[in-house]
Amino acid sequence: MFKIERIRGESINLAGHLLSPVDSVENRLLNYKVSYTSSKGRVYEQRFIGRFSKDNKPLIVWFHGWHAETSFYDLHPEHLGRFNIVFPQDRNGYNRSGSWWLGGSSPEDWHYPLLTKYFISHLQSNGLASDLIFCGSSMGGFGALMNACFYENVKCFVSVPQTTLNPAGPYFKGDKQKILSKIGIHASGYEAQKAQYPILDLRQPINRNMPIRFCDKELEFRSQPRFVHITTTIRDIPGKAELVNPYLNYYILPYISNISSLGSNASVNILPISGHDCYFMPSSVINYYSKYLSKQQLDLNKGCSFQWLGMNDLFANTLRLDL
């Protein structure tokens, strides 16, 4: 059984500003708790913060990064009324700082994709999501790309995402192995888990309509995103020459190759900087969505990987990668 509740009177840090309370008629920033009670009586929960100004508008779903569960980016006032936005929260995992949007401590307990699907479907059925735009950075990037698989025609904007949770991947080497072990992913059993949960590696083809089990329910894999823009850095870890472009070579290019072969549109930008930090704001996403991502434009370019000219409007000093 699913349940959606409005939570009133709770403060939260939104883009550096403490709003108290979050849930009010004046600011239209609404706080929700979505829960599911399994057939065995176990209750699973997830929180969502949303600003819903108008019916029949595109919905931005913003997945936060690891250890960023209390900071969100709000809509610029000029975009209020043109878009709705929702911020899922990942309060599971190591130090409760994030479970890569799976939830729970083992595959048997993973539940976030199920609750996210239910909540977004609820918004769609109530006319609050005429189109879906999923965004995120790093862990949030994986969350955006992974959750997009359970919908049709999602547009994704992500930066430095992990596209696989393989413990052998460059992001999870060393001390970060404990992050994966906290959600039940271990090197010794990873291949068996990937067979049952193919969303653990988005670089591979996944059978359409394949059922994937969360709690005691199944979600069908629907499709890869209709459009993906990815930004990565030229060197993810400063000073380690052997790890130049680990994201590009391990996470980005295999993923782009996979979704392009399935007819999705893709765009990649490489920032000529070192480090893992490259973020963008909802306003940048909205501007490019409005300019380039009409249905007619996507249909015209179906099956092509392309670059946006003028992407410097989104990130300064970018390098183009022609695929």
Per-residue pLDDT of the chain (323 residues), as tens digits, is: 999 998 876 555 444 444 444 444 445 678 899 999 999 999 999 999 888 877 889 999 999 988 765 556 667 777 777 888 899 999 888 888 889 999 999 999 999 999 999 999 999 999 999 999 999 999 999 999 999 999 999 999 999 999 999 999 988 888 788 999 999 999 999 999 999 999 999 999 998 889 999 999 999 999 999 899 998 877 654 455 554 566 778 898 899 989 988 888 888 887 777 777 777 778 888 888 888 776 656 665 554 444 433 333 343 333 333 33
CB 73 within 8 A of CB 62: yes
CB 318 within 8 A of CB 270: yes
Instruction: Specify which residues 102 forms β-bridges with.
Output: none
Query: Could you identify the residue written with the tokens 């977004």?
Result: 120
> What pTM value is reported for the model?
0.87
The residue among 12, 33, 32, 37 whose CA lies nearest residue 22 is: 12
Q: Mark residue 35 as left, alpha or beta (left: phi above 0; alpha: psi -120 to 50; beta: remaining).
A: beta
Query: Could you identify the residue written with the tokens 């052997």?
Result: 242
Q: Can you give the three-state secondary structure of 233-292, one letter per residue?
A: EEECCCCCHHHECHHHHHHHHHHHHHHHHCCCEEEEEEEEEECCCCCCCHHHHHHHHHHH
How far is Cα 242 from Cα 237, in angstroms, rounded to an integer? 9
Instruction: Specify which residues 3 forms β-bridges with.
Output: 35
How far is Cα 295 from Cα 56, in angstroms, rounded to an integer? 16
The confidence score (pLDDT) of residue 273 equals 73
How far is Cα 110 from Cα 147, in angstroms, rounded to an integer? 13
The answer to whether domain 56-320 has CATH 1.10.540 is no
The confidence score (pLDDT) of residue 181 equals 94
How far is Cα 77 from Cα 88, in angstroms, rounded to an integer? 21
Burial 7-35 (b: 16+ CB within 10 A, else e): beeeebebeeeebeebbeeeeebbbbbbb
Q: What is the DSSP letter of 194?
A: H
